[in-house]
Structure 1
Amino acid sequence: MSTAVELGAVLVVVLAAILIGSFGLRLSRTTSDFYVASRTVSPLWNASAIGGEYLSAASFLGIAGLILAYGADMLWLPVGWTGGYLVLLVLVSAPLRRSGAYTLPDFAEARLESMAVRRMASVLVVLIGWLYLMPQFQSAGMVLRTATGAPAWAGGVIVAVVVAVNVLSGGMRSITFVQAFQYWLKLTALAVPVVFLLFAWHGDGRPGLGRDAPPAFTDPVTVGVGTDVTVRVDEPVRVTVTGRVDGRELDRAAVTLQPGRHEITHDTTIAFPAGARVPHVENLPVLDDHQWLLPLNGREHPLYATYSLILATFLGTMGLPHVLVRFYTNPDGRAARRTTLVVLALLGAFYLLPGIYGALGRLYTPELLMTGRTDAVVLTLPARLVGGTAGELLSALVTAGAFAAFLSTSSGLAVSVAGVIGQDIMRGGVQSFRVATLLAVAVPLALSLGARTLAVADVVGLAFAVAASSFCPLLVLGIWWRRLTTTGAMAGLLAGGGLAGAAGIAVVTVGPYSGWTGALLAQPAAWTVPISFTVMIVVSLLTPGRVPRGVARTMVRLHAPEALDVDRGDWRPRST
């Protein structure tokens, strides 16, 4: 019954997304409708839609999973992702809306009057979008497999198809309605179960997180391993194995796992006795509760990793194409600021919840540290703590919220990437946008099916690092420093965006790495962001002759209040 209920929840979310999106089809007729919803979205609707697309799989599943694995350090993720909107509010939101551009490449060309800078910005938009989309599709596969046992590729394909249908039907106007609905669904899907989980934990009488030892199984438990993993065992444990361990095929065989590394093949089940220490996947730290509750304990070079993560999340938000495009849909700069304030409240309410799931997961689902599927803690807890019909219904609600997260974020990313491909590679217009949408979705789907699976929040963190190292310097200097030159902007985008992108590709395709190499590549923002700012400023000072001729008029357009009635018509690139 549980599988049927959860599958039904997924179908309801998918159908709701399609039906709500089809409503936008009746309202979308012009290019402006498809790209920026004709700039008529109110602050509350826009903030709900931003919350819908911003709260991705990394927020819904990833934070709780990382808190389960690494502890208090990971609380910086929701702090940074929310705090990034403060920087966006102060420095970017209103001037960006006044620019009149449709996309980040539009802004780059309007400000710097250079097709070369526009092309580089277009490449970075696509890179960030695809890097962000890939874990959404992978997580969708994980969720559907957990809920129904379906193949790992099925969830990603479903999300890709629904996103393509919604974006093709009505563009930005269509997905605005869908994403606003999905924010409130995600908030409900996390908030309602957490009430039942806390009551169940209180009634269970289980002690909290105060042990001096690493996690252990409180009851006899059988762990199913879905993918090939290598685990570390700290002390000898007698288990019953069905499957393949260390190259030996076993069928309900009693064996003793000695301390050290052990390779476990997919579809293997291992029965542990009560009190046994939980083996950990080799790339996860083994922490007692005291270490787990304190910061700077979980990773190699934790001080560097923490500050680099903070820098990436605070500055990366303003460089995310699918977030910035939302501010082009506001009627004016004042509405853009009001939208940002509402977004802060909505994100703050949501981010109170994942930490609770992570802490309860350490008590009730420690086996996820062995299987490596810590992202599944949100999905696993309701059935484990509540049980019965209530547990099944809560699991279905959480599964529905997870799919809403994939659909809403993927829709926003698809629109931003398709907008760039449609304008810069094709001829522009509605038909080009629709063809570009298929490319925007198909490529990351193919990558997600072929790439190895990483923690969703880690991959999203790499996308933030690329955004912080490229578009953050371009926007801050482009909006507030009139001496930025075409050559300086191009050099900074190449240096910062190129280095951060190369680090992300290395981690996704070849990593993980250990030592300082691993820390610098997994969290590159601490060195790539300063490089980007420095290169942009120094090269601009060395090339004063490359300051755009129309910079004075552009700066007035960006900063003059709307009441002055400065010409703010939709900006069009010279190439179209």
Structure 2
Amino acid sequence: MTGWQITAASVAGLVAVVAFYLGRRPTTLQNAAQDFDMARRTVRSRRNAAAVSGEYLCAASFLGIAGAILADGADALWYPIGFTAGYLVLMLFVAAPLRRSGAYTLPDFVEGRLGSRGIRWFASLITVLIALLYLVPQLQGAQLAVTALLPIPGWAGPAAVIGVVLVTVLGGGMRATTLAQAFQYWLKLFAIAVPTLALCVVFIGTGGQAATGLGTAAPPTLPSDTTVTVDTPVTLEVDAPTRLHAEGVVDGAPADGEVLWSAEVPHQVAAGTTLRLAEGTPTPIVAEAPADNTDWLAPGNDGTWDLLGTYSLLTALLLGTMGLPHILARFYTNPDGRAARRTTLHVVLLIGLFYLFPTLLGALSRLYVPQLLITGRTDAAVLLLPTAMLPGLGGQLIATVVVAGVFSAFLAATSGLVYSVAGVISADLMPERVRDFRVAAVLLALAALGLSLLPRHPDIAHSIAIAFALAASTFCPVLVLGIWWRGLTAKGAAAGMAIGGLAVLAALALDIVSDYTGGWAPVLVERPALLSVPAAFVVTVLVSLASRQAETTMVNSFMLRMHAPDRLGFVTDAAIPRYGRAEERIRLSHGQGRHRR
């Protein structure tokens, strides 16, 4: 390995060591099950907001958004908008009532609101599915980062992330995870903001002229002679007749020399093929991505279907945030509904600030690393951009800072997911919580590791959006209707979650088949939320109306607890089986561990 590669690996290791230290440091303070789980509910709102943001800013935020903007341009701006605006929906409709409900997890809320043990188990199963769909892209992002930076096998990245996460989560508990996540948010913000500002200075210092300007009606051109090896089969399009040198299989025939590609038809390039292109050559673009910069800058070029895809993506992102298990678990560390809402407001500000920077990096990547459009590995743009814009020591130093943020993103999102979902599995399926929590965490992590080594969708942001779609199609109707409508029944909730979940999983299966059989799936199969979420709401309401019974004292009491002002003192934490009752209000009333703003 080169000196730069050794430095990058060392920085990633340093991030892991710091995360491990923060995970182990508070362990001696955690001597009860509730302290282990909910950080004694003494986490400051601002620190909790930083922890929420640290968990939320995952591989899709750090790598995926810049990569999506590099490939899709203005259409990809809906990702940062949706990721941020999802917290506004959460703040308006869910955060405070959910915290007042006294539940610890989404299955706890479902059981407490509907009084059904069976639906709790069903909710736990959906929680695990959402977690796996969210975990796998994190680990595949680690695989991408390792192969882009280091000459080592790709599986080493996911394996390293899982190892650090298990060590941190198993020994630390929620308070340790809070400290680690809060630290990782500020590390990620530093690691994205400083390189972005430095690269903008470099761009302005060169006169703002790099290759072909973004405003021209032409594809981006290669800034230097470029050699690209295609790892997976890919379909490429060119905007004008293009000469290049190919070694491998192109358009189904062996090639070993110069070829001329026409603009009339797409070109099939087999895995293992090497393409060599001269400086100034218009970049071949992966099929279905905007070919020239004019289309790249203009949203909605594909007409009605493109507009439907945008609406479907926004539906998933806006309504899916409230159904993410590792995010909602954070709000249970707040002492009351008001603190939960305050935390959410801080989160909107923190992640909104963060998302300014990958957007700029995506635009710069279009100018300086357009070769990534050939292979479709656009998610590597953030990692490769610094050395492409600033060759030498300066670019390597900036890239090292980026590496620290990237691995922090992997660790933060993965540890939050493993912790929260392992808690759900152990509470619902296994006795003796702390011991079995560790078993559940290991099993979940290993399952995600195994799935991450399978062939993947090349777009991390797209993969994450599927997890959001599943969350929006299952838990969103139950949360919104359970909080704001007395008529919700267990049968209605179960039917709605089943219909919404099956619709998303069926769409995912069709999309995978489509990827291997010519890419025939329409946009609402790739982004199913526009169909699955309304279907889940309608089914939930209709079945609830058909199975509605007289309101019980339990329902009235639960609704009162969720909507009564905090100062009236109705908030009590739920009695959790195999856990004992959490006596937080008594402890707070004696002045022990009072929540600090």
- TM-score bracket for the superposition, by shorter chain length: over 0.9
Distance 1:574 1:431, change over 3 A: closer
> Quick check: 1:486–1:546 contact (8 Å CA) kept in 2?
no
C-alpha distance in 2, partners of 1:298/1:398? 34
C-alpha distance in 2, partners of 1:387/1:128? 41
Distance 1:296 1:10, change over 3 A: same
**How far off is 1:502 after superposition?**
2.6
| Structure 2 residue 321 is the aligned partner of structure 1 residue 344 | no
**How far off is 1:264 after superposition?**
4.0
> Quick check: 1:491–1:535 contact (8 Å CA) kept in 2?
yes
The runs of at least 4 aligned residues of structure 1 exceeding 6 Å deviation read 247-250, 512-516
> Quick check: 1:487–1:546 contact (8 Å CA) kept in 2?
no
Moved more, 493-502 or 83-92: 493-502
| Structure 2 residue 258 is the aligned partner of structure 1 residue 255 | yes
1:91-135 CA-partner distances (Å, limit 9, x unpaired): 111111111111100110001000121111111100000000000
Q: What secondary structure is seen at the aligned counterpart in 2 of 1:450?
A: coil
C-alpha distance in 1, partners of 2:302/2:371? 18
The amino acid of 1:59's aligned partner reads S
Let me know the Cα RMSD of the aligned residues: 2.2
> Quick check: 2:311–2:530 contact (8 Å CA) kept in 1?
yes
Partner of 1:270: 275
Equivalences, count: 573
Structure 1 segment 481-500 matched on structure 2, within 5 A: 481-500=485-504
C-alpha distance in 1, partners of 2:303/2:286? 14
1:313 to 306, 310, 317: 317
1:360-419 CA-partner distances (Å, limit 9, x unpaired): 111111111001100011111100111211110111111111110010001111112101
| Structure 2 residue 454 is the aligned partner of structure 1 residue 445 | no
Partner of 2:293: 289
Question: Unpaired segments of 5 or more residues in structure 2?
Answer: 581-597
1:220 to 222, 225, 229: 225
Partner of 1:369: 373
Q: What secondary structure is seen at the aligned counterpart in 2 of 1:527?
A: helix
Partner of 1:142: 144
C-alpha distance in 2, partners of 1:516/1:362? 27
Distance 1:547 1:153, change over 3 A: farther
2:159 to 157, 160, 165: 157
Q: What secondary structure is seen at the aligned counterpart in 2 of 1:223?
A: strand
The amino acid of 2:171's aligned partner reads S
Q: What secondary structure is seen at the aligned counterpart in 2 of 1:511?
A: helix
Q: What secondary structure is seen at the aligned counterpart in 1 of 2:6?
A: helix
**How far off is 1:342 after superposition?**
0.7
Partner of 1:239: 244
1:253-280 CA-partner distances (Å, limit 9, x unpaired): 5321433444445555432112322112
TM-score normalised by the chain length of structure 1: 0.95
Partner of 1:563: 567
Structure 1 segment 33-432 matched on structure 2, within 5 A: 33-205=35-207, 206=209, 208-241=213-246, 245=250, 254-259=257-262, 260-266=265-271, 268-282=273-287, 284-297=288-301, 301-432=305-436
Structure 1 segment 413-562 matched on structure 2, within 5 A: 413-508=417-512, 511=515, 517-545=521-549, 550-562=554-566
Distance 1:301 1:118, change over 3 A: same
Distance 1:458 1:298, change over 3 A: farther
Question: Unpaired segments of 5 or more residues in structure 1?
Answer: none
Moved more, 304-313 or 450-459: 450-459
1:480-500 CA-partner distances (Å, limit 9, x unpaired): 111111111111111112212
C-alpha distance in 1, partners of 2:277/2:431? 61
Partner of 2:23: 21
Q: What secondary structure is seen at the aligned counterpart in 2 of 1:484?
A: coil
> Quick check: 2:96–2:340 contact (8 Å CA) kept in 1?
yes
C-alpha distance in 2, partners of 1:522/1:129? 19
1:445-480 CA-partner distances (Å, limit 9, x unpaired): 101112334311101101101111111110111111
> Quick check: 1:228–1:263 contact (8 Å CA) kept in 2?
yes
TM-score normalised by the chain length of structure 2: 0.91
Q: What secondary structure is seen at the aligned counterpart in 2 of 1:152?
A: coil
> Quick check: 2:55–2:413 contact (8 Å CA) kept in 1?
yes
> Quick check: 2:133–2:464 contact (8 Å CA) kept in 1?
yes
The amino acid of 2:27's aligned partner reads L
**How far off is 1:236 after superposition?**
4.2
1:51-90 CA-partner distances (Å, limit 9, x unpaired): 1010110011101111111111111111111111111111
The amino acid of 1:377's aligned partner reads A
**How far off is 1:506 after superposition?**
3.6
